[in-house]
Homo-oligomer: A and B are copies of this chain.
Amino acid sequence: MKNYIKHDPWKIIEEGFHRDHNRISESIFSIGNGRMGQRANFEEHFSGDTLQGNYVAGVYYPDKTRVGWWKNGYPEYFAKVLNAANWVGIDFLIDGEQLDLAKCEVDDFYRVLDMQKGYLERRFEATLASGKIVKVKAVRFCSIVDDEVGAIRYSITPMNFSGPFELTASIDADVMNEDSNYDEKFWVSIAEEVDHQEAYLTAETKKTAFQVCTGMHLDIVRGGETIDFETTHLKREKYVACNTTVEVAEGQELVIYKYAANLSSENHPKAELITNCRNVITQAVNKGFDQLLQEQAEAWMAKWEESDITIEGDVAAQQGIRFNIFQLYQTYTGEDERLNIGPKGFTGEKYGGSTYWDTEAYCFPFYLSTADQRVARNLLIYRYKHLQRAIENAEKLGFKDGAALYPMVTMNGEECHNEWEITFEEIHRNGAIAYAIYDYIRYTGDKSYLVDYGTEVLIAISRFWSQRVHFSSRRGQYVMHGVTGPNEYENNVNNNWYTNYIARWCLSYTLEAIEHMQTNSPEAWKALEEKIKFYEHTETKRWKDIVEKMYLPYDEELDIYVQHDGFLDKEWELTINDLTPEQRPINQKWSWDRILRSVFIKQADVLQGLYFFEDEFDVETLRRNFLFYEPRTVHESSLSPCVHVVQAVVLGMYDKAYEMYLRTARLDLDDYNNDTEDGCHITSMAGTWMAVIKGFAGMRIKNDRLYFNPIIPERWEGYNFKVRFRGNLLKVQVQQSGTLITHEAGEPLEVQIGDQVRSIQPSEEVSV
Contact = CB atoms under 8 A, between A and B. Distances in A.
A458 B635 CA distance: 40
A612 interface: no
B424 A591 contact: yes
Contacts of A597: 470, 481-482
A520 interface: no
Given A397-B594, A591-B73, A593-B425, A419 B68 contact: yes
A320 to B, nearest CB: 30
Contact of A573 (B473, B494, B591): B473
Interface in A470-488: 470-475, 479, 481-482
B569 A479 contact: yes
Interface string A561-590: 000011011111100000000000001111
Contact of A474 (B65, B398, B471, B569): B569
A640 B723 CA distance: 64
Contacts of A565: 565-566, 569
Contacts of A637: none
A535 interface: no
A47 interface: no
Nearest to A557: B474
Contacts of A481: 566, 569-570, 596-597
Given A470-B571, A479-B569, A566-B481, A398 B68 contact: no
Interface in A364-421: 396-398, 418-421
A492 B491 contact: yes
A754 B354 CA distance: 69
A415 to B, nearest CB: 12
A259 to B, nearest CB: 41
A474 B558 CA distance: 12
A592 interface: yes
A69 interface: yes
A239 to B, nearest CB: 28
Contacts of A594: 397-398
The oligomer's copy count stands at 2
A71 B68 CA distance: 12
Given A472-B569, A492-B492, A73 B592 contact: yes
Contact of A475 (B482, B569, B588): B569
Nearest to A472: B569
Interface in A28-73: 65-69, 71-73
A74 B591 CA distance: 8
A592 B491 CA distance: 14
Contacts of A71: 591-592
A587 B479 contact: no
Interface residues of A, number: 50
A424 B592 contact: yes
A632 to B, nearest CB: 15
A590 B66 contact: no
A482 B72 contact: no
Interface in A417-458: 418-421, 424-425
Nearest to A592: B71
A305 B630 CA distance: 70
B398 A590 contact: yes
A72 B570 contact: no
Q: Which of A68, A397, A565 has the most CB of B within 10 A?
A: A68
A397 B590 CA distance: 7
Q: Which of A72, A73, A588, A593 has the most CB of B within 10 A?
A: A593
Nearest to A588: B72
A683 B475 CA distance: 41
A74 B69 CA distance: 13
A593 B474 contact: no
Nearest to A566: B494
A597 B471 CA distance: 13
Given A475-B569, A565-B565, A396 B591 contact: yes
A568 B565 CA distance: 13
Contacts of A569: 472, 474-475, 479, 481, 494, 565
A352 to B, nearest CB: 11
A443 to B, nearest CB: 34
Contacts of A418: 68-69
B494 A593 contact: no
Contacts of A593: 73, 397-398, 420, 424-425, 482
Given A71-B591, A470-B571, A491-B491, 17 more contacts: A66-B68, A67-B68, A68-B419, A72-B587, A73-B592, A396-B591, A398-B590, A398-B591, A470-B570, A474-B568, A474-B569, A479-B569, A481-B566, A481-B570, A481-B596, A482-B596, A492-B596
28 contacts: A66-B66, A66-B67, A68-B419, A69-B418, A69-B419, A72-B587, A72-B595, A397-B593, A397-B594, A398-B593, A421-B421, A424-B592, A470-B570, A470-B597, A471-B571, A473-B572, A474-B569, A481-B566, A481-B569, A482-B593, A482-B596, A482-B597, A492-B492, A492-B596, A494-B569, A565-B566, A565-B569, A566-B566
Query: Which 5 pairs between the two chains have the least Cβ-Cβ distance?
Result: A73-B591, A71-B592, A424-B593, A67-B68, A397-B591
